[in-house]
A = this chain, B = another copy of it.
Amino acid sequence: MKLSGGVEWALHCCVVLSRASAPVPSARLAELHGVSKTYLAKHLQALARAGLVRAAEGRDGGYALTREPAAITVLDVVEAIDGDQPAFRCTEIRQQGELALPPEECRVPCGIARVMAEAERSWRRSLAGTTIADLGASLDPARLDRVLGRG
């Protein structure tokens, strides 16, 4: 199991945006973090599709958060980048092969699927317990504006 590397980039970008006083272009965000500009742009598009950020076009445009940082959880960002499909997908093996169960015994979900789903719920609940505001608390807005202003 591997999480897309873009998740880390997107989280750092959201933290920066939460403390920025004006929209920040995607190329600028890439420079701030030392990552690929074009590839980061792709992930920012995903954040925009999920409704977490809004793109301002034209000169002096860029990305900005659509909500208060305290209203955006880490889970929101992870799902925007990595998709909201569960990591484990039950293929109903219990109904296949020689050991197949009759359909009347398959009204309730497979026990294996239940365990995996419950674990993912724990994972999501944990991620939803931290917001962008929490992560951005240690970032000095003055320092950010100074770095952004020079650009």
Contact = CB atoms under 8 A, between A and B. Distances in A.
Nearest to A117: B126
B119 A123 contact: yes
Number of chain A interface residues as a range? 35 or more
Contact of A8 (B74, B90, B97, B125): B90
Contact of A99 (B33, B89, B100): B33
A130 B121 CA distance: 15
Interface in A9-57: 9, 11-12, 15-16, 30-35
Interface in A92-136: 93-94, 96-100, 111-112, 115-116, 118-120, 122-127, 130, 134-135
Given A8-B91, A31-B97, A122 B125 contact: yes
